[in-house]
Structure 1
Amino acid sequence: HDHLDHCLETAVGPVSQEARAPIEEFKSITKYL
């Protein structure tokens, strides 16, 4: 999952906290897959 997190952060790049919220939510969901 660390690889996925890295890919997401790379793809998203520097974004505002507001834009990052759904990404954090997505990452928290994918932890359980």
Structure 2
Amino acid sequence: MAFLLLVWAILFLTGCWRCYAQLKSSNKNKLRKR
């Protein structure tokens, strides 16, 4: 059970990191366009 929770936590953290990176890149693109 602990192993499954660990895997879920890693997937969740990587997903958040990816979303954060996408938001940063989208913000940079918006600034460049303006």
Same fold (TM over 0.5): no
TM-score between both structures, scaled by the size of structure 2: 0.40
TM-score between both structures, scaled by the size of structure 1: 0.40
Task: Indicate the structure (1 or 2) with the bigger Cα radius of gyration.
Answer: 2
Give 1 or 2: higher helix fraction: 2
Choose between structure 1 and 2 for higher RCO, CA contacts under 8 A separated by at least 6 residues.
Answer: 1
